[in-house]
Amino acid sequence: MNTDITRWLERDPDPKTREELQQLIDSNAESELADRFSGRLAFGTAGLRGIVGAGPNRMNRLVIQETATGLGKYLLEAVEDAAERGVIIGFDGRPDSKRFAHDTAAVLASQGIKAYITTHEAPTPMVAFGVKHFGAAAGVVVTASHNPPAYNGFKVYWGNGAQIIPPHDSGIAAKIDIAAKEDIKHLELEQAKQQGLLIMLSEPFYHTYRETIGQSKLLSNHTKPGSVSLAYTAMHGVGANLAEGMLADAGFTQVYSVAEQREPDGTFPTVNFPNPEEPGAMDMVIAEAKKHNATLACANDPDADRFAVAVRTDDGDYRMLTGDQVGVLLGHYLLNHTEQGQNLVGTTIVSSSLLGKVAGSAGANYYQTLTGFKWLTNVAMQKQTDDSRFLFAYEEALGYTVGSEVWDKDGLSALVTFAQLTAELAAEGKTVWDQLEAIYRQHGLHFNAQKSIALQPDTPPIGDALRATPPESIAGRQVLITDDLKTSQKLYADGKVENIDLPASDVLIYHLDGGARVVVRPSGTEPKIKCYYEVIENMTDDDTLATAQQRAQAAMDDLISRHQASL
């Protein structure tokens, strides 16, 4: 038998995964064993995420204990008072999450690092909040967010309350590699508690998060909340108690939860894929909204860091807003409800450019980052000043953060803020659709789409090919500017060159005449590229929202088909 497998069986503390591995050995499942032992789950800027099972290339108790050992050793070296400041740990409702969280606490405590752990399932944003609230050295959430039931994850926050970025990710990864070769130490939780190394975070902490968010000035607009009704689903996740409580605190009395999806259940029995963006995932909450003729059908994903909403239309049906539409509506609303000096807003390079225009017209400061919320918040901390404090950021994949209580996406504060925005509009006799149309009339209807394009396996790297012969036009539209993030240069059609202040990344952004944009992100691991498209249609006095959207859709279809053909 392979020595790696033998050693794994000796080290694995979990009889369940030892038995699973033994069955694979007995049935001579060579390809399955090869996959599980082909390497380790890579620890990156989001931490770990993978399928639960035996072996180093899966999520299991031994991988968690090795990861926690590496994290602890890195913290003790990198942060002077890490042991005393401690690490806050939370977990979602998946079958192994609590066990993994307890293993993490036991390993950290064995290194003398104080562990704060939630007594029961916790929304991811609440743990991010807790890092700052307790002044912890780091935070860990055991969650696979909206991934399918077979997955779990280990998400890490730094002491600033944001997700880790370089150099901490690679620093922790190096310590994990060392831990994987050594005996794992852990302290029984009862002993850790007696030694003052384990603090249980019970209901008062959940209430502190709820109260702090609720008392934020940005969430204090209580314009006739009783007049708006909304259906809500936690999507078998951890959001229901806090979502319902926070809405009640804000005065919303007509809230209807989808009972079948309210309690945490990591098997997600009523959805094929517990991601609100996936087709069918919102069906039950929309049905609940129809039953009560509610204004909104709202969802959090299973760890409650994302927010999705479908809005009732004039004909009584419900239509999903895109992440970009929600982001622009929230940004516009917050810029009109903020105090002086809190005016820094941002989004990512693949999200709509409309927020930048809304910010410009409000005299606010706007920034862009690479994709990923870790960049949105870490960059915001660098950019904010006393005269320009952080207000809001979003990414098109349904992630939003309102104010600086939570330095990560927070689906709960986004839910309450969107409900308050809707109530204020209703008090003025307007709908969400009216507001969206007003923004589009001022700045143009921005229409965004994403498409992954599969390439032949033997296709040379597409980024290199595009750089070797840069396109002068795409779909009949002239390329005015090319942003090459690999070389950190902005290249103008007239030959002018400027530097770009973003970390190097294999991304090309083409700015076309008429305001259209194409973003090309080659995959580093398989023969495909991800393309993000934006077209802008100016609205005439004769236009309705529907006619302008039809025109934008036609322009988008043309852009995508012609661009794909050119590749």
- Give pLDDT tens digits along the chain (567 positions): 688 899 999 999 999 999 999 999 999 999 999 999 999 999 987 799 999 999 999 999 999 999 999 999 999 999 999 999 999 999 999 999 999 999 999 999 999 999 999 999 999 999 999 999 999 999 999 999 999 999 999 999 999 999 999 999 999 999 999 999 999 999 999 999 999 999 999 999 999 999 999 999 999 999 999 999 999 999 999 999 999 999 999 999 999 999 999 999 999 999 989 999 999 999 999 999 999 999 999 999 999 999 999 999 999 999 999 999 999 999 999 999 999 999 999 999 999 999 999 999 999 999 999 999 999 999 999 999 999 999 999 999 999 999 999 999 999 999 999 999 999 999 999 999 999 999 999 999 999 999 988 877 777 777 888 898 899 999 999 999 999 999 999 999 999 999 999 999 999 999 999 999 999 987 655 678 899 999 999 999 999 999 999 999 999 999 999 998 887
Tell me, what's the pLDDT at 51?
Answer: 95
* Residue 561 a catalytic site member: no
pTM: 0.96
Cβ partners under 8 Å of residue 8, min gap 6: 21, 37, 54, 55, 56, 62
Nearest Cα residue to 369 out of 223, 497, 507: 507
CB 442 within 8 A of CB 527: no
Tokens found for residue 541: 């006095």
CB 285 within 8 A of CB 405: no
Cβ partners under 8 Å of residue 19, min gap 6: none
Tell me, what's the pLDDT at 526?
Answer: 66
Q: How far apart are CA 1 and CA 394, in angstroms?
A: 50
**Distance between first and last Cα of the chain:** 47
Cβ partners under 8 Å of residue 93, min gap 6: 121, 236, 237, 238, 264, 265, 266, 302
Q: How far apart are CA 383 and CA 82, in angstroms?
A: 26
Q: How far apart are CA 145 and CA 157, in angstroms?
A: 15
Q: How far apart are CA 108 and CA 136, in angstroms?
A: 13
Of 97, 145, 351, 353, the catalytic one is 145
Tokens found for residue 187: 């302290």
Among positive and negative, which fits the CA dihedral 425, 430, 436, 442? negative
DSSP 163: B
Q: How far apart are CA 327 and CA 246, in angstroms?
A: 20
Q: Which helix (H) or strand (E) holds 360?
A: helix 354-361
CB 565 within 8 A of CB 533: no
CB 328 within 8 A of CB 445: no
Nearest Cα residue to 18 out of 7, 29, 32, 30: 7
297 DSSP β-pair partners: 231, 310
CB 322 within 8 A of CB 432: no
Tokens found for residue 166: 């370089």
What does the DSSP assignment read for 50-84? EEBSSSTTSB-HHHHHHHHHHHHHHHHHHSTTHHH
Nearest Cα residue to 476 out of 564, 557, 562, 565: 562
> Amino acid identity of 92?
D
Strands (E), 84-135: 87-91, 115-118
The pairing of strands 477-484 and 473-474 is antiparallel
Q: How far apart are CA 563 and CA 567, in angstroms?
A: 7
Alpha helices in 152-260 (DSSP H): 168-179, 189-194, 203-214, 240-249
Other CB atoms within a 10 A radius of the CB of residue 417 amount to: 27
